[in-house]
Amino acid sequence: MEPKRIREGYLVKRGSVFNTWKPMWVVLLEDGIEFYKKKSDNSPKGMIPLKGSTLTSPCQDFGKRMFVFKITTTKQQDHFFQAAFLEERDAWVRDTKKAIKCIEGGQKFARKSTRRSIRLPETIDLGALYLSMKDTEKGIKELNLEKDKKIFNHCFTGNCVIDWLVSNQSVRNRQEGLMIASSLLNEGYLQPAGDMSKSAVDGTAENPFLDNPDAFYYFPDSGFFCEENSSDDDVILKEEFRGVIIKQGCLLKQGHRRKNWKVRKFILREDPAYLHYYDPAGAEDPLGAIHLRGCVVTSVESNSNGRKSEEENLFEIITADEVHYFLQAASPKERTEWIKAIQVASRTGK
């Protein structure tokens, strides 16, 4: 009987020989992790046994690389994976840890609905707390803050975080709030913005988080950016990054010239409505942008010859300038989610 597939999707993996980062189709099984060069490949490029392995998350061995986790096997071999965004990393980490625990206990992997109390600091679910903090109505308000002739967009101050934790009764006092905020920072749910908050993280203080109105922080998938003495051209260029991120993840994109397919990380923003795509191996600047205002997006079941396409889960974006983009999702459900999200952004965004 084949091992049960628990989770699968695109992750960026660090090579064990040349140390380069490349997108891989990764499959989490009950007893190991298989990784493939392409989703359509029949045989994996490698397999990582989970028995006796340990998982480290967040893994901060690579500086600017975010959302990385590490699996260390019994032979002391390290395998590094990078997710596209925080929630995706947490889902992989949660399921992988559970698979390892099931192996140790001789149990079958099974998903169970659990409710964890957050009344006491020791039992706070940081993931659930993070989602509450991001709530558009009751969460922490993201602002554009100015300091030292710089404008920090989509961020908030350290004391606002503690105020929110106390007012929502997530903690009993500000000292307790400081401990929780430091944990959120260490786990990657919050990121420092500006010299003061970055210095605290890099220093040796007991609490890397600062309960201070001059210490700035941001959510890792908020669309944060900093402006400094920007020219008019820079402001126009950055306008497309001001939109709130509503969806992100990896998709296959067909090139316009060679018609070959490559894995790209996509970030969908609304108001203004843009779909930026990046090299998932870690480039900070986008490879391109699709302006979605007035676009048409549809699923594709046949190729240009009218025959049924060999590629599954395709969809097409046609911009207002009549530029065609062909994308491929990993499943019918994922394709539907992307189409609906893009349709909403195209109607509501600038």
pTM, full prediction = 0.63
Q: Is residue 158 part of a domain?
A: yes
Q: Do residue 213 and residue 252 come from a single domain?
A: no
How far, in Å, CA of 254 to CA of 261, rounded?
4
**321: in domain:** yes
Residue-number span of the structural domain to which 151 is assigned: 129-225
171/350 Cα distance (integer angstroms) = 40
Q: Enter the tokens of residue 258.
A: 């060679």
As for how many domains the chain has, the answer is: 3
Please tell me whether residues 215 and 249 are part of one structural domain.
Answer: no
Same domain, 93 and 66: yes
CA atoms within 13 A on the CB side of 300: 23
Alpha helices, H only, the chain:
86-105, 126-133, 158-167, 174-186, 195-202, 232-238, 332-348
Q: What's the confidence (pLDDT) of residue 21?
A: 93
Does one domain contain both 250 and 221?
no
Residues 248, 177 within the same domain: no
DSSP 45: S
- Both 135 and 79 in a single domain? no
333 and 245 belong to one structural domain:
yes
What torsion, rounded to 10 degrees, do the Cα atoms 276, 281, 285, 288 define? Answer: -40
Q: What is the CA radius of gyration of the chain?
A: 22
- Decide: 34 and 44 in contact? Cβ < 8 Å: yes
Does residue 247 share a domain with residue 218?
Answer: no
- CATH number for the domain spanning 250: value is 2.30.29.30
- For residue 186, being part of any structural domain is answered with yes
Residue 247 belongs to some domain of the structure: yes
Q: Do 143 and 87 share a domain, yes or no?
A: no
Domain boundary among 199, 225, 251: 225
Domain identity same for 30 and 72 = yes
* CATH number for 195: 1.10.10.10
Residue with tokens 């992790």: 33
Residue 112 lies in a domain: no
Last residue of a domain, one of 179, 195, 225: 225
Handedness of CA 104, 105, 107, 109 (dihedral sign): negative
What pLDDT score does 90 carry?
A: 84
The answer to whether 222 touches 245, Cβ cutoff 8 Å, is yes
Per DSSP, the residues of 274-301 read EEEEE-TTT-SS-SEEEE-TT-EEEEE-
**pLDDT tens, residue order, the chain (350 aa):** 566 889 999 999 999 877 899 999 999 999 999 999 988 898 999 999 999 999 998 888 887 788 899 999 999 999 999 998 887 888 899 899 999 999 998 888 765 432 232 333 456 788 889 999 999 899 999 998 988 878 888 899 999 999 999 999 888 899 999 999 988 887 778 988 888 988 887 665 667 899 999 999 988 767 677 766 444 444 444 677 777 888 889 999 999 888 899 999 999 988 889 999 999 987 678 999 999 999 999 998 755 544 445 568 999 999 999 999 999 999 998 999 999 999 999 987 66
Same-domain check for residues 213 and 251: no
192 and 137 fall within a common domain: yes
Instruction: Assess if residue 119 is contained within a domain.
Output: no
The pLDDT value recorded for residue 303 is: 53
Q: Is 113 part of a structural domain of the chain?
A: no
Residue 116 domain-assigned (yes or no): no
Domain boundary residue, one of 225, 254, 289: 225
